Amino acid sequence: MSLLDAARQVRENAYAPYSKFKVGAALRTRAGTIFQGVNVENVAYPEGTCAEAGAIAAMIAAGETEIAEVAVIADSPSPVPPCGGCRQKIAEFAAQDVKVTLGTTDGDLLETTVGALLPGRFDMSHMDKV
């Protein structure tokens, strides 16, 4: 299964009763394992979870820590990039040149990289004096 197909498939399981905006994400680790996540809304809106964060949590729970590729899909007129918080979460586990594919349910695709999504990212090197 392709990474985009994994994101497309899991998107159907998203819990979005308030916004009706379902998002699916899939990531492949350096070891080749695919992890999936969906957005999970909550009536207490800030308590929801993004699809990308869910996929990262599944990866960490399985004991892996290195993202090799990411795919995100949503039913929108144009490809939807991860929110700022998820960009930072992805950057924690991925190199700047890691490919990120953003897609729509209609098949529109945009390929980018972690570095292009989050230029000037904050990372461990900024904490060298701590």
* 15 marked as part of a ligand binding site: no
Task: List the catalytic residue out of 47, 52, 66, 92.
Answer: 52
Judge whether 52 counts as a catalytic residue.
Answer: yes
* 71 marked as part of a ligand binding site: no
* 47 marked as part of a ligand binding site: no
* 50 marked as part of a ligand binding site: yes
* 13 marked as part of a ligand binding site: no
Say if CB 90 and CB 52 are below 8 A apart. Answer: yes
| Inter-CA distances, 48 with 25, 33, 44, 45, 57, Å | 15, 25, 8, 6, 14
* 44 marked as part of a ligand binding site: yes
Residues in the annotated binding site for substrate: 39-45
Residues in the annotated binding site: 39-45, 50, 83, 86
The catalytic residues are: 52
Residues in the annotated binding site for Zn(2+): 50, 83, 86
